Structure 1
Amino acid sequence: MTSLAQKIAGALRLGRRRAPASRRPQTTGSWSREAVLERVAPLPLRDRFLPEFDPDYYRALYPDLSQLDDEALERHYHEAGRAEGRVASPLAARGYFVDALQGDERSLELGAFHRPLMRGAHTKHFDVLPRAQLVERAKAIGEKPEGIPEIDFVSPSGDLAVVDEPFDMIVSSHVIEHQPNLVAHLAHVERILDKGGVYAMIVPDCRFCFDHFIPPSTLGQVIEAHHQNPKVHTLRSVVEMRALTTHNDAARHWKGDHGTLDHTVARTRNAIREWEQSKGSYIDVHAWRFTPDSFAQIITTLNGLGMTGLTPYRIYPTPYLVSEFCAVLGKDS
């Protein structure tokens, strides 16, 4: 009889031997996007965000793990699969996650520009420019403006203080990492969320995007920024974004090809000049860099310190060959 340890060891060996192929999920049948949407659509808001680990889903997606029982699957996931980019919940994938957002709840989407995630009259939109100016901006950079929604709340500085009504759900994609004061941003989200509401977001994983060479943000940096309360990005953020970033090809990053940091002196000099010449105006760069684990840890600690009332509800891992992860913070009643 094969022991549990032997099963896991065999699966680990198989995963290492066939990693590139085995990490590509087989989403068919009862786990197809259409089937999952049909399953979650009738559920209440929070219930639509399925747990991060489902053994049946994990087993169905990866044929090389089909012989493992539930206990062995969970151990494999935590000891190897997660690091390999295997996912154990359909909602780890952007498409499934966006499907789960659609419902009748009062929703506010932040900074969607020309690619909104939300559909329907129940959703309102917040951005730094009114729609007409966003259309001009999209055309100027070669993007199609047809998808730009009407903007209900406008703040050139990105200040959510202009939002004066409650919502069941706040939604954003690649927005939270741009906030100069993360704690203040979370406070505004908490203020306009009804009890039991959620902040659902898609966040870049700094390991697999152009931020690769910049370490994940620390709790200390987040707290320091809150006390300093910058309204625009700091010189450090501008230098990091302009001088220390690399290519943005997620597949290359997953395969260990991170590129190189070239012309760092010149890029740094130009970044300093750009920041000085901005004279306090906003420069759009990343202030924060997260992994799923570091993000969960920072939010949990901020909650424990009383600096936010939001808590991690679902933090899905980053899928193989992808540069972003999906996360849900909850405002508990």
Structure 2
Amino acid sequence: MDRSEKLLHGIDKSMRVLEIGPLFRPICSRAEGWNVYSIDHASEDELRQKYRNHVDVDVSRIERVDFVWRGGPMVEAVPKVYHGAFDACIASHVIEHIPDPIAFLRSLAALLKPGAVVALAVPDKRWCFDFFRPLSTTAGWLEANRLGLTKHSRTTRFEYETSVINSDGQVAWAPGPLGTPSFSGCPIWQSYTVFRPQSDLENEDYVDCHAWCFTPSSFVLIIEELHALGALDFRIKHTFPTVGHEFFVILEQSQVRETDVARMQKRRMRLMMATARELREQLEMLPVHLDLD
């Protein structure tokens, strides 16, 4: 299966699909007959202006934006006539950017029909610029939701800006030995300004970054734990392993919770062990001989 086939697993042209942030590379193209609606942080004209000097973006192909989401709960950016109207949602490299993923997924639950699916493409932190960053946790998602975050925290901003790397000049790469690493973000002295008393992040414009880092098993663990806790109505339907620097997850709505404590604990332990093995695989890719003196 190629990338599109994985994201379209269980999705067909008879469905009404919501695609988040397709920019100029939609998975579901209107030109190909899909009944698709798109949501983004800006209108298509604003996106063309924003990306006009980006050599990797073909601004002439930017998709029509049906719903503009500038802040607050995503569901509020969509007219009520479309609430509960979508059969599926596709979000490629979106979830890791969201300050409050629980609120984001709850908005999706309100926009989707019962039984609808969500297809996610998610970067694997082992093979992209998040290489040295720690894994995100269920507790982190719960705290972001408790705080109602709509912007990234000072901690997230500092960690992201000072830890992201390139490997041989590449921001993402396939599984294999790490090349020569180099920092691609800000020097620590520059990023430290977010912690100084005069810093006023609450009144600043939104600054984008990767807020969350995952391996395939660590992501599944978060979803499974939040579903068991009743914090989310989504659970894992299907996963596809990492290819290049991304893995794929299909979520389905379900309000049937795991209530067997022993079974849930065994499931959690299996996923934690799998996550540890994934991190061991990452460590084995570190260069053996690298002169950084």
TM-score bracket for this pair, using the shorter chain length:
0.7 to 0.9
Are the equivalent residues in 2 in contact too, given 1:114–1:148 (CA < 8 A)? yes
Inter-partner Cα distance in structure 1 for 2:152 and 2:59: 27
- Name the aligned partner's letter for residue 128 of structure 2: C
Q: What TM-score, normalized by structure 1, do the two folds share?
A: 0.66
Q: Name which of 148, 160, 185 aligns with 1:241.
A: 160
Q: Which residue of 2 aligns with 1:211?
A: 130
Q: Does 1:97 align with 2:6?
A: yes
- Name the aligned partner's letter for residue 284 of structure 1: D
Aligned to 2:39, the other structure's residue is in SS state strand
Q: Which residue of 1 aligns with 2:225?
A: 301
Inter-partner Cα distance in structure 2 for 1:157 and 1:269: 30
Q: Name which of 154, 161, 170 aligns with 2:68.
A: 154
Higher strand residue share: 2
Higher helix residue share: 1
Aligned to 1:136, the other structure's residue is in SS state helix
Deviation by residue 1:296-318 (Cα, 9 ceiling, x = unmatched):
11001100000010111012111
Aligned to 1:314, the other structure's residue is in SS state strand
Structure 1 segments of 4+ aligned residues over 6 angstroms from their partners: none
- Bigger Cα Rg: 1
Q: Which residue of 1 aligns with 2:148?
A: 229
What is the CA-CA distance between 1:283 and the residue it aligns to?
0.4
What is the CA-CA distance between 1:329 and the residue it aligns to?
0.4
Over 3 Å counting, the alpha-carbon distance change for 1:274 and 1:332 in structure 2 is same
Over 3 Å counting, the alpha-carbon distance change for 1:297 and 1:133 in structure 2 is same
- Name the aligned partner's letter for residue 235 of structure 1: R
Are the equivalent residues in 2 in contact too, given 1:125–1:151 (CA < 8 A)? yes
Q: Which residue of 2 aligns with 1:328?
A: 250
Matches within 5 A, 1:1-333: 90=1, 93-98=2-7, 100=9, 101-120=11-30, 121-142=34-55, 143-157=57-71, 159-161=73-75, 162-163=77-78, 164=80, 165=82, 166-247=85-166, 248-251=171-174, 254-257=175-178, 259-260=180-181, 262=183, 267-273=187-193, 276=199, 279-319=203-243, 322-332=244-254
Inter-partner Cα distance in structure 2 for 1:234 and 1:295: 21
Are the equivalent residues in 2 in contact too, given 1:178–1:285 (CA < 8 A)? yes
What is the CA-CA distance between 1:246 and the residue it aligns to?
1.0
Inter-partner Cα distance in structure 1 for 2:67 and 2:221: 31
Gaps of 5+ in 2: 256-293
Among the aligned pairs, what percent are the same residue? 28
Are the equivalent residues in 1 in contact too, given 2:226–2:232 (CA < 8 A)? yes
RMSD (CA atoms): 2.2
Aligned to 1:199, the other structure's residue is in SS state strand
Aligned to 1:146, the other structure's residue is in SS state helix
Deviation by residue 1:7-32 (Cα, 9 ceiling, x = unmatched):
xxxxxxxxxxxxxxxxxxxxxxxxxx
Deviation by residue 1:144-163 (Cα, 9 ceiling, x = unmatched):
11221111110222741212
Inter-partner Cα distance in structure 1 for 2:233 and 2:194: 37
